Amino acid sequence: MKANLLLLLLALFLGACGNKVVPHSALKEEVELDKVDYKKNGFKAGTVFDNTGLDGCGFMISLEDKSKLDPTDLPAEFKKDQLPVWVKYQYKKGAVGVCMSGRIVTLLEIKSR
């Protein structure tokens, strides 16, 4: 009887040590933590959009507050309509663009969301 109880306890212990399924809610919390970390590190959430339909415009970035950025140096791999991104940027003082649809910026860093 003791041996059976020990075997049962051993089986339960070993079974509990295997791969665990992560609940969906835990995965959501990880995503939210990443969002907080990006914001803490100076990134802003935005979406790249194709504005080439307007004369002199190209791909731009719309921020969560609805302001628009006209980056002078958007890498080719980010020129995708409706691409969610994290951006760090710096306004270009005195810069005037042909598009006149957003603030001209130099990108310091950009990452896909």
Amino acid identity of residue 7, one-letter, is: L
User: For 102, what's the count of Cα atoms within 13 Å in the CB-facing half-sphere?
Assistant: 25
The pairing of strands 68-71 and 103-112 is parallel
- For 32-73, how does the pLDDT look when each residue is reduced to its tens digit (9 = 90+)? 556 778 888 899 999 999 999 988 899 999 999 999 999 999
CA distance 1 to 67: 73
Backbone angles phi, psi at 48, to 5 degrees: -70, 140
Give the pLDDT of residue 6: 53
The more confidently predicted of residues 54 and 6 is: 54
pLDDT band at 10 (very low <50, low <70, confident <90, very high): low
100 membership: H or E segment, kind and range: none
Instruction: Walk me through the domains of the chain, giving residue ranges and CATH numbers.
Output: 42-113 (2.40.50.500)
Secondary structure letter of residue 23 according to DSSP: P
pLDDT band at 24 (very low <50, low <70, confident <90, very high): very low
pTM of the model: 0.68
pLDDT band at 101 (very low <50, low <70, confident <90, very high): confident
CA distance 78 to 85: 9
